[in-house]
Amino acid sequence: MVISTKKSFFYTFVFICSILIFNGCSNKIKKTTTKENSETIYPSDVIPFMDEWKILLGDGTYTDSLVNYEKHNFFYVENEGGTNWVVYKTPNSGVTSRTSSNTRTELGQKAHWIPETGGKLTGTLKVQHISTTGDARVASSYAVVIGQIHSDEGHENEPLKIYYKKFPGHKKGSVFWNYEINTKGDNIGRFDYSTAVWGHDFSVVGSSPTEFPEEPEEGIALGEEFSYEVNVYKGIMYLTFTRKNHKTVQFTKSLIKSEFATKEDIPEQVKRVYANRKKGGGIERETAYANEIQYFKQGAYNQANGKSTKSETYDDDITKQYANGSYAEVWFKEASIHIGESYNKEKK
């Protein structure tokens, strides 16, 4: 009986010790896991080319040091289904650049180039949100620019802006790209010519502030992934757009020889869009953007504002804008950038 009691005590002691040791190990494992999960993943961890960019955020924050940089509610990383995405988020009204009324959380390339030497920009993304308020008659309402080429001299116009736009109540929106002429003479005559990729182009607008055009059949929904490639080689811009279960769409546009150098060259689309505006109606210099310094931009350049598009801004309160749908949000999971001819020797 004594022996049995001793054995029972011994086994009980061993059992308790085993539990204590296991719990100690378990706690160590949990702490390690917690520590690992709490480590911040920065946009530069997802898209490593961040050292080649500067950024302007929708609240006016500017920095040219983007390695291990983030800012909550503007520029950060979200994980969805095991995939990390860089988030660019910006309100309808905030602090913006000296030449624009539109806010942006957008990268600006540090390096510069001319069309003759060229460069390439790629991005794989999805637009998660665009402003839900605006004037349907204004072409830039309900839209965000997700990639650009911007001139850094002369008129500082934009030979490329890639847009996503979706009217309220529609399930599908449109992707299109605009070419802005490098105006000959006074830049008041500048205009954009728009080309549809999926859905409508820039010129398709509503018949009243609250009446929308028909939803595009071949449109693209919020949250739907797609990719673009902008490849400027020896003065020619090659654009490629890809999307799952759809044919690849490609375009070619010269940046060194104008298609709009005379009044007769102005397209009907432009005459219609700019009919009641002060700007528009100009012509482009014959050599377009030849030998003019350019740089790429990428992110979320919100086209909604309280001035031209009559979008709601809640007295510039960013928190209220985010809470009430007055913002643009774009997620990128991949992107790349290259400069000069050496990156693409095989291009025709």
Helices first, then strands: H and E counts in the chain: 4, 16
Q: Looking at the domain assignment, is residue 245 inside a domain?
A: yes
Q: Looking at the domain assignment, is residue 44 inside a domain?
A: no
Q: Looking at the domain assignment, is residue 242 inside a domain?
A: yes
Looking at the structure, tell me whether residues 113 and 258 fall in a common domain: yes
Looking at the structure, tell me whether residues 145 and 20 fall in a common domain: no
* Among 213, 212, 241, residue whose Cα is nearest residue 225: 241
Q: What is the structure's pLDDT at 255?
A: 98
Looking at the structure, tell me whether residues 280 and 319 fall in a common domain: yes
CATH code, 172: 2.60.120.200
CA 26 to chain CA mean position, Å: 44
Q: Looking at the domain assignment, is residue 171 inside a domain?
A: yes
Beta strands in 199-326 (DSSP E): 220-221, 226-233, 236-243, 249-254, 294-302
Using the structure block, give the residue that is written with the tokens 């509503």: 206
Q: What is the structure's pLDDT at 315?
A: 94
Residue 297, φ and ψ in degrees, nearest 5: -135, 150
Domain, as residue range, for 4: 1-39
- Judged on CB neighbours under 10 Å (0-12, 13-18, 19+), 50 is buried
Looking at the structure, tell me whether residues 3 and 152 fall in a common domain: no
Looking at the structure, tell me whether residues 232 and 301 fall in a common domain: yes
Q: Looking at the domain assignment, is residue 178 inside a domain?
A: yes
Instruction: Provide the residue-wise pLDDT of the chain in tens; the chain has 348 residues.
Output: 444 444 444 444 444 444 444 444 333 333 322 334 568 999 999 999 999 999 999 999 999 999 999 999 999 999 999 999 999 999 999 888 776 789 999 999 999 999 999 999 999 999 999 999 999 999 999 999 999 999 999 999 999 999 999 999 999 999 999 999 999 998 999 999 999 999 999 999 999 999 999 999 999 999 999 999 999 999 999 999 999 999 999 999 999 999 999 999 999 999 988 887 767 789 999 999 999 999 999 999 999 998 999 999 999 999 999 999 999 999 999 999 999 864 444 443
Looking at the structure, tell me whether residues 77 and 33 fall in a common domain: no
* Count of domains for the chain: 2
> How far is residue 217 from each of residues 155, 171, 247, measured CA to CA in Å?
37, 10, 15
Q: What is the pTM of this model?
A: 0.87
Which residues face 334 on adjacent strands? 124
Q: Looking at the domain assignment, is residue 16 inside a domain?
A: yes
Which residues face 100 on adjacent strands? none
Token pair recorded at residue 95? 């602090």
Residue 14, φ and ψ in degrees, nearest 5: -65, -40
Q: What is the structure's pLDDT at 37?
A: 56
Looking at the structure, tell me whether residues 33 and 78 fall in a common domain: no
Q: Looking at the domain assignment, is residue 89 inside a domain?
A: yes
Contacts of 325 (CB under 8 A, 6+ apart): 129, 131, 132, 133
Looking at the structure, tell me whether residues 25 and 98 fall in a common domain: no
Q: What is the structure's pLDDT at 44?
A: 98
Q: Looking at the domain assignment, is residue 118 inside a domain?
A: yes
